[in-house]
Amino acid sequence: MPSSTSNFDFCRVIPNHPWRGMAVVVALIAIAATIAWEVYARSAGYGPTLNDTEDLWAQTRRRVTPGSIVIVGDSRPLFDLDLDELERGLGTRPIQLAQAGSCAFPVFKDVIDDETFHGTIICSIVPLMWLAPGGPLVENAEGAVKREETQTWAQWASHLLAVPLEERVAFLKMDELDTRGLLKRIHLPNRAGALVPPALPPYFASLDRERRARMTPQCAQPGPLQDRVKNGWLPLFTPPPPPSWVPREAFQAKVGETIENRFRDTAALVEKLRKRGGKVVFVRFPVSGPLKEHEDKATPRQGPWDRILRDTGAPGIHFEDHPELASFELPEWSHLSAPDSVEFTRRLVPHLRTALQLNAVAVR
């Protein structure tokens, strides 16, 4: 017996409309909207630049070879080190693995745990960030390390397609001009049981395929953008209050234990690399203004910095020990302008060569 639908003839009627003309109109509207959004983004101070995604970091991480010079740290070496000057002075082009807004320890550990690596690590130390017991600073670094290990073919292909577009289109600024970024601009006051995290700094730097960051001229000059970046640092460098449901003594004890473990693990990793013939040099990059006062008060030099050098036996370069490194003006207290970063790197190279015991004279 035939089914009840076997004799049903379906005929889809396509309305008689000027579809070709409608498609052209829709395409023109989309193009016009895209151009308008691009014009708006550029008028607001944005420019084409790569987003510092986990995929870009993973791509860079894969360039590390057993004898590479690797830069590890926070945003300061990302801004302050010029790869051309380092290559000229050290003889090898370094791999830039520093990350803005992150605790560098997970990346430091990831590089050293690679048993084939016996190269050199230039490691930036901002004690408040290096000793972070958890939270977004650690999660940012761990996320990048995990992406390098678990990146899918789809993520890899998406990244390769995105890079040439980001280099040409200003409105493709992730976390600022996408929907999530625009929603974050809505001001919400703190409320009982819901503390609003401090705002991240706005767009004030460009990034290239080697992950070399350069401060924009608008931020390097006094003005609203520079003030906005300055005013954002102190809230970001102030730890959140302990959770109300955990006794303060227990919370402080747990944080103290985690920090002690970080000191111990840092020393163990440096020794592990040293046994393979590798080297580590720690660097304290310039910081100024109220941000420096805040960092010095929270983590005095005689505390974390001196202890890391003492526990590891590794050389350290502190900008305050060298007038030629401490004489730069930091427009927003935390990073050097693009031109100054080149000169700073040029002045830093002799100290790096001494710390790394590179005796041959670099050809300039």
Q: pLDDT class for 324, splitting at 50, 70, 90?
A: very high
Contact 70, 86 (CB under 8 A): no
Residue 362 above 50 pLDDT? no
* CA pair distance 193, 273, nearest whole angstrom: 45
Residue 253 above 50 pLDDT? yes
pLDDT for 7: 59
* CA pair distance 202, 184, nearest whole angstrom: 12
Residues 6+ apart with CB under 8 A from 211: 52, 56, 57, 60, 78, 96, 97, 98
pLDDT for 84: 97
Residues 6+ apart with CB under 8 A from 166: 48, 49, 50, 51, 172
pLDDT for 4: 53
Residue 90 above 80 pLDDT? yes
pLDDT for 246: 76
Lowest mean pLDDT among 142-151, 176-185, 223-232, 332-341: 176-185
For a pLDDT cut of 90, what percent of the chain falls above it?
Answer: 71
pLDDT for 331: 96
Tally of CB atoms within 10 A around 203: 22
* CA pair distance 149, 138, nearest whole angstrom: 17
Place of tokens 């002690």: 260
Residue ranges per domain, the chain? 54-185+198-355
| 70: phi then psi, degrees, rounded to nearest 5 | -120, 135
Query: What is the rounded average pLDDT of the residues 187-195?
Result: 71
Place of tokens 């935390």: 334
pLDDT for 8: 61
pLDDT for 363: 42
Of residues 361 and 86, which shows the higher confidence score? 86
Q: pLDDT class for 227, splitting at 50, 70, 90?
A: very high
Query: What is the rounded average pLDDT of the residues 114-138?
Result: 94
* CA pair distance 273, 280, nearest whole angstrom: 8
Whether this model's pTM surpasses 0.95: no
Residue 25 above 50 pLDDT? yes
* CA pair distance 147, 58, nearest whole angstrom: 6
Query: Residues 256-304: pLDDT tens digits?
Result: 889 999 999 999 999 999 999 999 999 999 999 999 999 999 999 999 9
Q: pLDDT class for 191, splitting at 50, 70, 90?
A: confident
